[in-house]
Amino acid sequence: MSIDELAPKCGEWLKGSGPESDIVISSRIRLARNLADFPFIRKCSDTDRIEIENTLHKAVAKIDSWQERVEYVDVSDLSELDRQFLMERQLISREHSEGSGARSVAIDSSEQFSLMINEEDHLRIQVMQSGFDLHTSYDFIDQIDNLIEQNVNFAFHARLGYLTACPTNVGTGMRVSVMLHLPALVMTREIDRVLRSMTKINLAVRGLYGEGSQAMGDFYQISNQVTLGRSERDLIDQISEVVPVIIEYERNARAFLKQESRNELNDKVKRALGILNSAESISSEETMHLLSSVRMGVNLGILDNVQIPTINKLFIHTQPAHLQKLHGMELSSADRNAARAQHLRRSLQN
């Protein structure tokens, strides 16, 4: 499996299956881990970073069941385009992409998990799953964590828990995040109130591409901020209790729109598909905005000739680096807009 082979496919987490998948795109968990025998990344020499990579590569290579399943990618050796591609794919973080020095990522062939080596911490394990199922995700990441820990010595403090480069991750080192599609709350202008209530209970809200990214396409990523002094199960339980409340708000807003603004809703959805099917040039931002309306339209039964997995895939495949990989060459911004429009027309008319 090479990066080029990844491009036309799509990860398991975009399959549009799993509980509540009309609203919850994906559930993700990541664990931050550090090797006890090395300083934190910030204090690492170049040699340290290389040794950390070697140590972790060997630890992973010892796991028999992953032999066929996991591929290493040397991130420091990648072109900017390939790094952006992996980031759009959610397989590496922006920090990992834009960092410097020896760093790599081990990618599961079905993209259910990835292991970032030498990101902010020595190791970041992440699992991604379609729909809303944090307990399954947690069982899965816990198993991965144990498999790796059999072969390495993680920095762990009896009272504090796992030690991490940034104090906000100390303890469990865990971040739980759920990607929600909330177009009706945006349309009814209730979204701000809902998001404010999230931050009041110490949950962070971000867009599709993590910290600092705007909430394009009506996607909101809800995640925990605090990791210290709480068990993994506690954190999972908190998010597992809050997310159904947001889902309920979104469902109510959709029902309200269907009841009270049926014509405007139909118009918005049909126009969105009409534009995606006819544009000759389209930006990434407009694409996400329109795909969001189409996705809601399918989920509300307004459109029946488009499939959710197709739309989920388009959200990722119309991102700049994906477009260029699919096109087999680097493209200017104007050419990307044309290629994006063509890709959308072909995908939606199939």
- Pull the structure tokens for residue 340: 């994006």
Residue 187 beta carbon to a second copy: minimum distance, rounded to whole angstroms: 15
Strand spans (E) along 207-296: 219-224
Q: Of the candidates 70, 216, 235, 275, which one interacts with a second copy according to CB under 8 A?
A: 275
Of 135-143, 212-220, 238-246, 259-267, the segment contacting a second copy by CB under 8 A is 259-267
Residues 292-321 close enough to bind a second copy by CB under 8 A: none
How many beta carbons lie within 10 A of that of residue 15, not counting itself? 18
How many whole angstroms separate alpha carbon 242 and alpha carbon 56? 35
Residues 183-242 close enough to bind a second copy by CB under 8 A: none
Nearer to a second copy, 25 or 341 (CB): 341
Q: Does 334 bind a second copy (CB under 8 A)?
A: yes
Q: Please give the span between the terminal C-alpha atoms of the chain, in angstroms, as a whole number.
A: 27
Of 7-15, 22-30, 220-228, 276-284, the segment contacting a second copy by CB under 8 A is 276-284
Backbone angles phi, psi at 228, to 5 degrees: -85, 140
Residue 266 beta carbon to a second copy: minimum distance, rounded to whole angstroms: 4
Contact 252, 232 (CB under 8 A): no
Measured CA angle at 167 (ends 95, 32), to 5 deg? 55
Q: Does 338 bind a second copy (CB under 8 A)?
A: yes
Residue 302 beta carbon to a second copy: minimum distance, rounded to whole angstroms: 9
Measured CA angle at 296 (ends 294, 297), to 5 deg? 60
Nearer to a second copy, 259 or 263 (CB): 263
Q: Does 271 bind a second copy (CB under 8 A)?
A: yes
Is the four-CA dihedral 325, 328, 334, 338 of positive or negative sign? Answer: negative
| Percent helix, strand and coil across the chain, each to the nearest 5 | 50, 15, 30
How many whole angstroms separate alpha carbon 99 and alpha carbon 242? 34
Q: Does 261 bind a second copy (CB under 8 A)?
A: no
Q: Of the candidates 36, 278, 285, 330, which one interacts with a second copy according to CB under 8 A?
A: 278
Nearer to a second copy, 75 or 303 (CB): 303
Q: Of the candidates 238, 252, 266, 342, which one interacts with a second copy according to CB under 8 A?
A: 266
- Per CB under 8 A, residues contacting a second copy are 263-264, 266-267, 270-271, 273-275, 277-282, 334, 338, 341
